[in-house]
Amino acid sequence: MIVVTTTDQLDESLSSFRSEGCSIGFVPTMGALHQGHISLVKQCVADNEVSVVSIFVNPTQFNDKNDLIHYPRTLDADLTLLEPTGVTVVFAPGVEDVYPEEDTRRFDFGMLDKVMEGKHRPGHFNGVAQVVSRLFDLVKPYRAYFGEKDFQQVAIIRSMVQQLNLPVEIVAMPIVREADGLALSSRNARLAPSQRKLAVKISEALTKSRNFVGRSSVQDTVNWVVDQINANEGLQVEYFEIVDGNSLQSISEWQNADYAVGCITVFCGEIRLIDNITYFAKQ
């Protein structure tokens, strides 16, 4: 495993592989790695001749400066986790390496970024598109791997790749959960033990809500999930929407979609947790 911190070092480490036509797989991360990230890395290593993982806390996607300040940075622990995976190169740049000049690009995602995370975090997805497209330009991967916990983000990245006509295959991987169902997240490290016990109520409510499909209305399902979670002191739903999994627009009737996904964001104290559940995806 080679660890590089500059774009020149990255080019040097990948140049011979590129000249040989090796397939390059890429997993972009913001560090604070957990087994969800590692599942992406292992798939990347299995699918490609060369694998690259980036560790970079991207400032342009944080609309809350306090969130940026408190985002966990654990490079040494991250490298320890990555060592046994077989990854070829770890790219851990500074801000000046990724953005030698201010990135002023503005992307148009239509309605994809007007809902859910995009509505509650203005500018977030533009920052995501900036950094991912920049990293794609630096790494030049054949394939890139993302977790479906960030369901809306995957749709945004697919749109960005299409808009820029980038030759990158986007591979979305299933959510990895703790044994009790809590979706793995770097933010979980900030949860106090009492909050950790509370946080599992999110996935519990989502899982139980699958029983509502075809039996209760979409709105009744939404109301039930929100009420179940908010009934726990210390949890507060920011939004829960049941959407068409392709357009990300809310549905009012189950039969209005062939692919229905429930997307949720919950504050556990001051810590913002996201999750989602697929209700059905008709072939």
In the chain, the N- to C-terminal Cα span, in Å, equals 40
Domain 186-276 has CATH 3.30.420.80: no
pLDDT one-digit tens code per residue, 120-166: 999 999 999 999 999 999 999 999 999 999 999 999 999 999 999 99
* Helix H or strand E segment including 179: none
CATH 3.40.50.620 positions along the chain are 2-173
What mean pLDDT is reported for the chain? 96
What contacts 206, CB < 8 A, 6 or more positions away? 225, 262, 264, 275, 276, 277
- Residue 55: what pLDDT? 97
pLDDT one-digit tens code per residue, 162-178: 999 999 999 999 999 99
Q: CA–CA distance from 260 to each of 2, 26, 220, 223, 252 (Å)?
A: 41, 29, 15, 16, 11
- Residue 73: what pLDDT? 87
Per-residue pLDDT at 283 exceeds 90 = no
- Residue 62: what pLDDT? 87
- Residue 68: what pLDDT? 82
- Residue 72: what pLDDT? 77
pLDDT one-digit tens code per residue, 65-111: 777 887 878 999 999 999 999 999 999 999 999 999 999 999 999 99
- Residue 193: what pLDDT? 97
CATH 3.30.1300.10 positions along the chain are 186-276
The answer to whether residue 37 is catalytic is yes
In the numeric block, which tokens belong to residue 215? Answer: 């039996």
What contacts 16, CB < 8 A, 6 or more positions away? none
- Residue 65: what pLDDT? 79
**Topology of the domain comprising 2-173:** Rossmann fold (3.40.50)
- Residue 226: what pLDDT? 98
What pTM value is reported for the model?
A: 0.94
Q: Predicted confidence band at 64 (pLDDT cuts at 50, 70, 90)?
A: confident
- Residue 70: what pLDDT? 73
Question: Which of the residues 37, 70, 120, 124 is marked catalytic?
Answer: 37
Per-residue pLDDT at 221 exceeds 90 = yes
pLDDT one-digit tens code per residue, 192-201: 999 999 999 9
Strand order across the 235-244 sheet: 235-244, 259-268, 271-281
